[in-house]
Structure 1
Amino acid sequence: MTTLLVAHGTRSAAGVAGISELAAAVSANSAGPVQLAFVDVLGPHPTQVLAGLGDHPVVLVPLFLSSGYHVRVDVPAAVTDSAHSRVTVTRALGPSPELARAMLDRLLGAGWRPGDAVVLAAAGTSDRHAQGDVRAAAAMLSALVGSRVRIAFAAPSRGGGGYPPVAEVVRQARIGGRRVAVASYLLAEGLFQQRLRECGADVVAEPLGIHPAVVRLIARRRGEAVLVAA
């Protein structure tokens, strides 16, 4: 059974390399072939990849940290347009305990200390489903760090709504002279991660990337889908 990983896409060469490394890590731990596609910015598009797989069964894993528009609309549309009849689509990666642990590890690696104010920085969305997923992710991270985690967006959400920009939330969290640490709720390098680095926080964690917990989570999502398809 082929595993098709579907990511957003980015103009950042480092971001593309990071997603490709993640796909390679998943492939190294998979019994079947692994392919990669993107819904935006660059190709191949999942419709193209699926159309080229004939009638071979496929598990499609959306490499998204919440169940926003791309997961609920773009991915199903790509499957329909491909006319492939044997595709099982998994849930989005987040929210999940694996991602919370990966965020904590990235924070520790960046220099987070107990007592620091923590801001979870996501890409930004006006989708209510996705916003709920981000809140759930923040609650999981809050339980691990032992204090309430604030939420911020790296970019304003289209149509308004959502959470304030990360620089604004960092300023608010610094009241009283506390150090502020930003947990990157991003999968790879790119414009949004650069905005986190420029937000004025004392500590900025790296993207989740090929953290072992992320690789295990993708394997779990795939395994769950295989059981459903059986």
Structure 2
Amino acid sequence: MHGAAPVLVAHGTRSVRGVEMIGELAVALAAELGVERVPTAFVDVLGPAPSDLLRELNNVPAVLIPAFLASGYHVYQDVPREIADSGHDAVAVTPALGPDPVLARVMRSRLRDAGWRPGDAVVFAAAGSSDARARHDVRRAAAMLGDLLDTPAPVAYIATGTPRVADVIAEHRNSSTGRVFIASYLLAHGLFHQRLHESGADGVAEPIGAHPAVVRLLASRYHTAARELVSAAA
């Protein structure tokens, strides 16, 4: 540890299992960092908000760790606003969790667990965003997965943007008799992941979740940000 308090920042979900998965990620990250706990803040749906947790720290240096798979509105707008609202003046923010080759490797593992085999088609399913920077991040993530699988992984969206996942699956059905699997570019279970199971694919990979490689990635991001925060204060 570097004397900076880690705070995990997640989107929030009404799914009980989704909240549990974020909790599992926070517990695993605490163990990786060697601390008693890593509190979790949410930018939507649930509380506490990041500003709430930052105020509780009483200006103890803090590192916010966004568990977002792309750098969209939440990273560029919500997180900075929450820091400003808190009045905390010693806060560092790590980059968004994705895109990253580590996530691509986890997604490949999840696909294999779902029954995907070389020769099967893959659809890269993301929640979607109106932010062009987030969509760019998603395309980069899909390219990373496609390179690993040595097969195209076209992007499709669950909620915001086109093409929609179900439409891409239907197009595949019309042009091929081969199997098609969905690579879920989601961190945790929730309504979006549930929709993937209703899209007509032969299999749906589990969300990325609290995979040990993801935990190590978050820990590495924390250490880098905390060192920079300490150096800046020296």
Cα distance in 1, alignment partners of residues 125 and 191 from structure 2:
13
The answer to whether residue 22 in structure 2 is matched with residue 19 in structure 1 is: yes
Cα distance in 1, alignment partners of residues 50 and 155 from structure 2:
31
List alignment gaps of at least 5 residues for structure 1: none
Cα distance in 1, alignment partners of residues 6 and 206 from structure 2:
26
Cα distance in 1, alignment partners of residues 138 and 31 from structure 2:
29
Q: In the TM superposition, what is the alpha-carbon distance from 1:224 to its structure 2 partner? A: 1.8
Q: In the TM superposition, what is the alpha-carbon distance from 1:173 to its structure 2 partner? A: 2.5
The answer to whether residue 163 in structure 2 is matched with residue 164 in structure 1 is: yes
Query: Given the alignment, which residue of 29, 34, 38 partners 1:31?
Result: 34
Q: In the TM superposition, what is the alpha-carbon distance from 1:87 to its structure 2 partner? A: 0.5
The answer to whether the 8 A contact 1:122-1:153 is kept is yes
Cα distance in 2, alignment partners of residues 73 and 145 from structure 1:
34
Point out the more displaced range, 78-87 or 218-227.
218-227
SS at match of 1:219: helix
Identity of aligned residues (%): 56
Q: In the TM superposition, what is the alpha-carbon distance from 1:78 to its structure 2 partner? A: 0.2
List alignment gaps of at least 5 residues for structure 2: none
SS at match of 1:118: strand
Q: Which amino acid aligns with 1:9?
A: G
Q: How do 1:54-203 and structure 2 match up within 5 A?
A: 54-155=58-159, 157=160, 162-174=161-173, 175-203=175-203
Listed one character per residue, the Cα deviations across residues 187-216 of structure 1 (whole Å, up to 9, x for unaligned) are 000000000111110010000011112111
The answer to whether the 8 A contact 1:37-1:45 is kept is yes
Q: Which amino acid aligns with 1:48?
A: D
The structure 1 segments of at least 4 consecutive aligned residues displaced by more than 2 Å after TM superposition are none
The answer to whether the 8 A contact 2:72-2:134 is kept is yes
User: What is the TM-score normalised by the length of structure 1?
Assistant: 0.95
Q: CA RMSD in A?
A: 1.0
The answer to whether the 8 A contact 1:2-1:35 is kept is no
Q: In the TM superposition, what is the alpha-carbon distance from 1:171 to its structure 2 partner? A: 1.4
Cα distance in 1, alignment partners of residues 44 and 228 from structure 2:
28
Cα distance in 2, alignment partners of residues 69 and 60 from structure 1:
16
The answer to whether the 8 A contact 2:32-2:216 is kept is no
SS at match of 1:29: helix
The answer to whether the 8 A contact 2:54-2:86 is kept is yes
Cα distance in 1, alignment partners of residues 126 and 39 from structure 2:
26
The answer to whether residue 210 in structure 2 is matched with residue 206 in structure 1 is: no
Cα distance in 2, alignment partners of residues 55 and 221 from structure 1:
21
The answer to whether the 8 A contact 2:120-2:179 is kept is yes
Aligned to 1:227: 227
Q: In the TM superposition, what is the alpha-carbon distance from 1:227 to its structure 2 partner? A: 2.6
